[in-house]
Structures are given as structure tokens and as C-alpha cells.
Amino acid sequence: MFNKIIKLGQKKFNKSDQHHQDNNNPSTNNVVRSSRTAPTTASSVSNGESQTTASSPSQTPNHPMFTTTPTLEVLPLLKDVSSSDRPLLFMKKAHMCSCHCDFSDTLIMPREKAIKRQTLLELVDFLHSSSGKVNETMQSELIRMVSANIFRCLPPAHHENTGAPPEGNDPEEEEPYLEPWWPHLQLVYELLLRYVVSSEIEPKTAKKFINHTFVSRLLDLFDSEDPREREYLKTVLHRIYGKFIFHRPFIRCSIYNVFYKFLYETERCIGVGELLEILGSVINGFTVPMREEHRLYLVKAILPLHKSKSISIYHQQLSYCVTQFVEKDYKLADSVIRGLLKFWPLTNCQKEVLFLGELEEVLDATEPSEFQQCVVPLFTQIGKCLNSAHFQVAERALFLWNNEHIVGLIAQNKDVIFPIIFEALERNMKGHWNQAVHGLSENVRRMFLEMDTDLFEECEKQHAENEAKACVMLEQRELTWRRLEEAASLAA
């Protein structure tokens, strides 16, 4: 009996000792962990991670090679290794490029800068080549590296640094801020662009990494003052919109939200022109009849952009978007014209010239049925422009009669338009200081005479009666003032 107890104790001791040795053995421990953690590991791109699938720890981002701080070192070329070793080397190179170099001084880190640049160039060539097969794990590490490079805190605007008000300086005359580490940043954007346009990348797989969070952070970068970066962002976002159909509603909504933020919060117009350029291509692809959602955004987000003081920076793109809406759906012409009249400038003559140019493009795409609905308020404003003391405003308004389509619309509604415009033309003929405006007014007046002589004579007669009434009222006013002066002198 005693011998049995001694043997049982030895067995228990051996088991506990073996268990203690196993816990202290890292190789055994790693085998156990790898067998438990071999299934897919998933997380979001917004946290710097993405969904990956691997069969061994050496091929996953959880490998010690990917968890340590990346260091720039010379690695073998991708074309010099076997196809089986290429994915791991690609991920190692991408992970290595996640580190940042100091560009504050050209003498700092010259070797590291050269290594990173050559590595990025090699990755770009690899994606561009037909043999550049990129699996899901490689895509995960690639997008992680791109995010680490491009997503950053942007420097404040010039007026935020100096304390000068944003309207104090002309934004078009200011020299743009250029990113000092653009030599690396450009290659990262080129790598992202190659990834998005690659026919080897399936949208169903790429959407795990190019998700809504990634797109939102991409839109935030349009605040960059570097025009080269905004140009790349515009191209990349446009390509994402074209390839990832399921992201299209979100991208449109996010762009409109940027406009709302600009109009009602920051008034920081950097990047608005590039976003409008993307939107112009998007509007061109809208189906007809246009959905109510697009009509609503036109009225709420796009037309209010006309009220900004810095409209000259992005007016060309804005005008194209507005014209695209009218060309797609002619019924929107009345809403667009009334929107322009709502935000028509009162004291900014240069802005008024821009509005007149945009108005001509809109009227060129307007149908007669829509033109009739807004003809009275439209030509009331045009009449004011004809009598503007600023010769460029008056001249640009008179140039509307050089457009054959607009002249045709005017001819169809001459009974309404002639009485409104006639008085303004007569004032220019009698008293405008600019000779060019005087000559153009005479040409328009002659055109009215040729269209309808009877109506012209009737308008001329009505104008003479109005002038006579104005003279009588002026005499009565002067007589009243004389009586008041006489009464005041007698009372004194």
C-alpha cells in the first residue's frame, strides 16, 4: 500500500514538472499559440489595420517583423526573389515605408530618404507591371502604409498663422504652401492611384480597405494648401467613385457636407474647386429624369456657393456644374436662374461680371417654356446691369445680345422684355460715360427696332410719357422745397 502511494506521487510530480517546463519553453508556446491564432484576423482600416487571411504567423501583420517600429534598410529587389517569397518581401517593404523622414533639413537622413524613395518607386513599378499580383494580405499592408503617410495633421492656413483676415489678401495672388516631403508623398499617392485603377484588384476585396472611413479621411485632405496634392486627391477620389459603385452615394453626400462646412462654418475654400470638378463629372453621368435627391442638393449645397467672397477661385468649376444640371434636366433652368438672382452681388463688380458670364451659359441651355417663368425678374436685373457705372458690368450685360439662342428667347417674349429694357437703353444712350457701352446700347436698340417697329414706337411713346411725368414730379418737389424754405424764413 505504501509503495502505491509513493508511485502515485511521482507520477503527479512528473506531470506538474513537465507542465512547468512547457510554460518556460518559448518554442513550444509559439506552436500552441500559432495553432490557436491561425484563423482570419479582422479589424478596420480606420484603426490602421485591415482584414487579412494567413496560414502561418510569418505571413501575417502580427509577425514580430510587422509589430516592431519600421527601420529603413536595403532589401532585395522584388524581381530578384522567387514568387513564393515575393509576398512577404512586398509586405516588408511596405511596412518599412511607413516610417517618416525628416525633411526640415536636406542634410538630415539622406541615406534613409534615398532608400525609401527607391523602395516606393519599386512598389509603384510592381503594381504597374502585369506580373504584380497582390493578394489580400499584401493589400492590407499596402493600405496601412499609405494611411500612415498621407493621413496627417495639416498646417494652418496663412491667415491663421499671421493673424491677417482671410479676405484681406487675394487668395489667387498668395504663393501656395508646398509640402517639404512631397518627393515621398507623391510616390505614395501614385502607389494608391495604381492600386485603385489596377484591373487585378477586385472591388469586393478592396472595399475592405477602401471603406467609408478611408474615403472620409481622404476628403479631409482636400484642405491641403499644396495644389499638387489636391490634384492627386482629385484623381484618386474620381477613380474610387468610378470603380467602387457601392461608395458613390456616400462620396456624393460627403462632398456636399464639405460644401456645407465651407459655407456655414469655416469659409476655408481650399479644395472646393477640385471637389466641384469631380462633381461635374458625376453630374454628367446622372440619369434622366433626375432624382429628387440631386435636385435638392443643387438648391441647398451648390447654388449657395455663389454667395462666397472667394467665388473667383472656383467659379469656373461651379459654373460647369450648374450648367450640367440644366443640360441634364431643362426643367431646372427656372430654379437655377432664380438661385443666381437670389445671390446676385450688389457691390462687387468683378463678381457681377462672373455671374453674367454664368448666366449666359445657363440661358444657352434653357428651353422657352422655362424661360417664360423667370423672364420678368431676370431682365429687371439685367436692366440694372445695363445702367451700371462700371463699364465691364454694362458691357458684359450687353454682350448677351450676341448669343443667337438668347436673342431667339428674347424675340419670343419681346412684349414683356422690351418695356423693361427700353428705359435702361435710353439712359445709356443719353448719359453713360463709356463710349463702348454707348455703342453697344445703340446696337441693341436698333435690334429691338428691327424685331417689332410698332412695339418699339409704343415703348418710345411710353418712355416719353414717363419722362414728362418725372419732370412734373421734379418741379413739384422743387416747388415744395421752396415753400418750406420760405415758411422757415418767415418763422425765423
Q: Looking at the DSSP assignment, which residues form a beta bridge with residue 41?
A: 52
The confidence score (pLDDT) of residue 422 equals: 92
443-485 residue pLDDT tens: 999 999 999 999 999 998 998 888 889 899 999 999 999 999 9
Contact in structure between 436 and 395 (CB atoms under 8 Å): yes
Neighbours of 471 (CB within 10 A): 10
- Assess contact for 103 and 180: CB atoms under 8 A: yes
The C-alpha atoms of residue 348 and residue 385 are separated, in whole angstroms, by: 12
Q: Which residues contact 247 (CB under 8 A, 6 or more apart)?
A: 207, 210, 212, 215, 240, 241
Q: From 446, 302, 277, select the one nearest 362 (Cα to Cα).
A: 302
φ, ψ dihedrals at 76, nearest 5°: -60, 155
C-alpha cell at 439: 455703342
Structural contact between residues 331 and 370, judged by C-beta atoms closer than 8 angstroms: yes
| pLDDT one-digit tens code per residue, 49-108 | 333 333 333 344 455 445 456 677 888 888 888 888 888 989 999 999 988 887 877 778
- Is the pLDDT at 44 greater than 90? The verdict is no
Residues 6+ apart with CB under 8 A from 448: 414, 418, 421, 422, 425, 455, 456, 459
| 8-state DSSP, 58 | G
CB 421 within 8 A of CB 375: no
pTM of the predicted protein model: 0.78
Upstream peptide bond of 289 is cis (omega within 30 degrees of 0): yes
**Is it the case that residue 370 has pLDDT exceeding 50?**
yes
Statement: residue 29 has pLDDT above 90: no
- 192: confidence class by pLDDT, cuts 50, 70, 90: very high
- pLDDT on residue 160: 55
Residues composing the chain: 492
Residue 32's pLDDT is 34
**Burial label, 9 (beta-carbon count in 10 A; 0-12, 13-18, 19+):** exposed
In the prediction, which pLDDT does 317 show?
Answer: 95
Q: Can you give the pLDDT at residue 168?
A: 47
- Angle (CA) 413 415 416, round 5°: 75
8 Å CB contact between 357 and 403: no
Choice between 262 and 104, residue whose per-residue pLDDT is larger = 262
The pLDDT tens digits for 431-443 are 889 999 999 999 9
All three cell numbers of 451: 424685331
User: In a 3-state reduction of DSSP, which class is residue 98?
Assistant: coil
Bigger pLDDT: 492 or 22? 492
Other residues' Cβ atoms within 10 Å of the Cβ of residue 408: 11
Q: Are 264 and 305 in contact (CB under 8 A)?
A: no
Beta bridge partners of 52: 41
Residue among 193, 192, 78 at smallest CA distance from 145? 192
pLDDT of residue 93: 92
Give the pLDDT confidence score for residue 102 in this predicted structure.
Answer: 79
pLDDT in tens, 393-419: 999 999 999 999 999 999 999 999 999
Whole-number pLDDT of residue 158: 57
Q: How far apart are CA 271 and CA 313, in angstroms?
A: 10
Is the four-CA dihedral 456, 460, 465, 471 of positive or negative sign? positive
pLDDT at 38 over 90: no
Cell for 446?
436698333
* Beta carbons within 8 Å of 212's beta carbon, 6+ residues apart: 247, 250
- 350 versus 109: the higher-pLDDT residue is 350
Q: How many helices (H) and strands (E) does the chain have?
A: 24, 0
One DSSP character per residue, 285-304 reads: T--SSPPHHHHHHIIIIIGG
For 208-253, write each residue's pLDDT tens digit. 999 999 999 999 999 998 999 999 999 999 999 999 999 999 999 9
Give the mean pLDDT of the chain.
83
- Determine the pLDDT at residue 154: 84
What integer is the mean pLDDT of 334-361?
95
Are 291 and 332 in contact by the 8 Å Cβ rule? The answer is no
